Chains A and B, each alone.
Chain A
Amino acid sequence: MGLRSYVITRIILTIPTLLLLLTAVFVMMRVLPGDPVALHFEKKATPETMEQMRHLLGLDKPLWAQYADYIGGIVDIGYLLQHGYPNLGKSMQTTTEDVGGQIFSAFPATLELAIYSMIIASVIGILLGVAASKAYNSVWDHLIRGFGIVTYAIPVFFLGIILQLVFGVYLGWFRTGLRISPTVQPPAHITGLYTIDSLLEGNLMKFVESFKSLLLPSLTLGIILSGVFIRLTRTNMLETFRLEFVTAAKARGLKESTVTFGYALRNAFLPILTMVGLQFALLLGGAILTETTFSWPGLGRYIVDRINFRDYTAIQGAVVMFGLFVTLVSLVVDILYAYLDPRIRL
């Protein structure tokens, strides 16, 4: 099978996964015991008001009809083209606003945070992981492993609060909240990522401003995630160092660094790449807490705000969006993997 037919098959296989995912969210939010409308009003409304709300949101229909409405709304291409976002229903809080629109405007903030955190996590993780494997069973190895384990055990928001306190409040180097200084006009919306948009605009000041806001949250999330990368890189490198081709490379008199980075790391990289895809799910979970800590106006912050309003349509929409995002990332990672490792395509 060529790369192209692999890509096409993989994309087609995504459809049942997506359907399964949408169904799972529906089951969680609608079929499980618990009445969203009753919870929304916290039992403080008359039965009539609650019935009216149910009718407005279509929650008085039989379950299969609700399911059809829900799936039908998401796959409604006409709606998507007209509005620029899928139909995820109306917010329970305002009953007029489209959940899809709110989610799509919050999404770039999360994407930007996710990209930078992932870069920080993989750089810290791979470098320290390689260093630990080179120094196997020495003091450095134990220290790095210890660091990895501690990052795993710290609640994200606790680390976030500490970084805010040290670098934001005491030292005053970086901002502890929001995406850009409130006195600065955000860059024009091109990609929605402030650091990239400001560069496209050619405005360095805005770039620095948005970077100063972005650094602490992405550092928080990056450090927390780096532990997994350290462990993976270390184990994979240790396993690779035992293989004969590494010994052969050393025997040929190649430089130590060439053997480590050009031979061993290259070989250990594929399993690491697969994990990057899987870690994305973990990253998004962490992003919810990081966004809440840093008042970062992304999807995670949105979901937490909506929980406070008990806005179940919005929560459901945001959960769907998280799922779509993860599915897309795993699709990209799989294609990348197939491109790098021809055995997958066989």
Chain B
Amino acid sequence: MMEKKEMSETKVKRSILARLLPQLRSLSKRGPSGWMVIVGIAIVAALVTMTAIAPWIAPHDPNKANVGPLRSPPSLQFPMGTTALGQDMFSRVLLGGSVMLQVSAISVFVCFLVGVPIGLFSSYVGGNLDKAISLVIDAVYAFPGLVIAIAIAAVLGPGVINMALSIAVVYIPSYFRIVRSQVLSIKELTYVEAARSIGAKWYTILLRYVLPNVVPSIVTVLTVNFADAVLTAAGLTFIGLGVSVDIPDWGYDLTKGRELLSSGGWWVITFPGIMIILLALGFTFIGEGLSELLNPKLES
């Protein structure tokens, strides 16, 4: 018995890897959309790895002022130049992704955790409850996202968690709507009716029969949502609702770097700007490629 369990565990571990690799390989055979997904995954993976190992490879303390001359353009010693305080831009770029990554990951996680169950439940139950929930969600959905995020972030105050929460509120409706639209058609299918007729409980039907069929669309929303969260976080930081100044952050440097521009200091905004674009681009590539691959109307 014991032996069998161990065997199945290693089997599972091996099978995850064994499953992922051929999937990536098969993606490459599915034309440009497949390649987009691969490139997107590569960009995101590279940026996450860079941020994770940054504390060990950064040449200077990113917050320490006067490690070099003030406002120095990129040179051999400071490959991305220095800030107005004489901080090393390269170290700040290496470490500055952690705020964006944390904020977007937490907000996507919260969205998923709130939006998907509400969507599943509401649309499966149907009736007036579903109508009421949809009405509220649609009202939030129609509202300018950044305005909601600004209002909530302004009330909650600064911080990674608060920023993530204010962004999450904006994107919960996207999850709710996609799940709901899928469940409404899936729950009428014969196999769900069959499950119901053999006496399966409602939660069993939702989790084992309905959810697996909704997952592909959720994954698409999720990746696009990651890109949106990154850009919203950058926007919040730009208008002064970001995290505190002693944490290196691409959004913060991009905002502050503007002040150097008039005197010709292009490097302080350029490098963090490119990093934000790359991160958002990576997620958008994945989302865009997946949605094209999964759109049945375009299958020929």
Contacts and interface: CB of A to CB of B under 8 A. Distances in A.
Interface of A: 16-17, 20-21, 24-25, 28-29, 32-34, 36, 39, 137, 142, 145, 149-150, 152-158, 161, 165, 169, 231, 235, 238-239, 242, 278, 281-282, 284-286, 288-289, 292, 303-304, 307-308, 310, 312, 315-316, 318-319, 322-323, 326-327, 330
A152 B282 CA distance: 11
Interface stretch (B61-69, B81-89, B178-186, B235-243): B235-243
B139 A17 contact: yes
Among B148, B154, B285, chain A packs the most CB atoms within 10 A around the CB of B154
B198 interface: no
Nearest to A145: B288
Contacts of B281: 149-150, 153
A155 B235 contact: yes
Nearest to A150: B281
8 contacts: A20-B135, A24-B139, A24-B143, A25-B151, A149-B285, A158-B276, A239-B298, A289-B235
A149 B139 contact: no
B205 to A, nearest CB: 31
A326 B147 CA distance: 12
A157 B277 contact: no
Given A239-B298, A319-B147, A155 B139 contact: no
Interface of B: 31-32, 135-136, 139-140, 142-148, 150-152, 154-157, 227, 231, 234-235, 238-241, 254, 258, 261-262, 266, 269, 273, 276-277, 280-281, 284-285, 288, 295, 297-298
Given A24-B139, A149-B285, A285-B147, A157 B238 contact: yes
Nearest to B255: A157
Given A155-B238, A161-B261, A323 B231 contact: no
Contacts, number: 141
A21 B147 contact: no
Given A20-B135, A137-B32, 4 more contacts: A284-B147, A285-B144, A307-B154, A322-B143
B269 A32 contact: no
Contacts of A242: 297
Nearest to B295: A235
A289 B155 contact: no
Chain B interface SS verdict (over half)? helix
A315 B239 contact: no
A55 to B, nearest CB: 20
B137 to A, nearest CB: 10
A33 B159 CA distance: 15
Nearest to A330: B142
A319 B280 contact: no
B151 A161 contact: no
A238 B254 CA distance: 38
A285 B155 contact: no
A232 B299 CA distance: 17
A307 B143 contact: no
A142 B288 CA distance: 12
Given A149-B288, A158-B277, A285-B145, A165 B150 contact: no
Among A17, A152, A235, chain B packs the most CB atoms within 10 A around the CB of A152
A32 B156 contact: yes
A17 to B, nearest CB: 6
Contact of A21 (B139, B258, B288): B139
A113 B225 CA distance: 27
Nearest to B147: A322
A267 B155 CA distance: 45
Nearest to B298: A238
Contact of B142 (A137, A169, A286, A327): A327
B284 A292 contact: no
Sort A-B residue pairs by CB-CB distance and give the 3 closest, nearest first. A285-B146, A153-B280, A153-B281
B152 A323 contact: no
A24 B276 CA distance: 31
A44 to B, nearest CB: 15
A161 B258 CA distance: 8
B142 A326 contact: yes
A152 B226 CA distance: 12
B51 to A, nearest CB: 18
A39 B142 contact: no
B284 A28 contact: no
B14 to A, nearest CB: 35
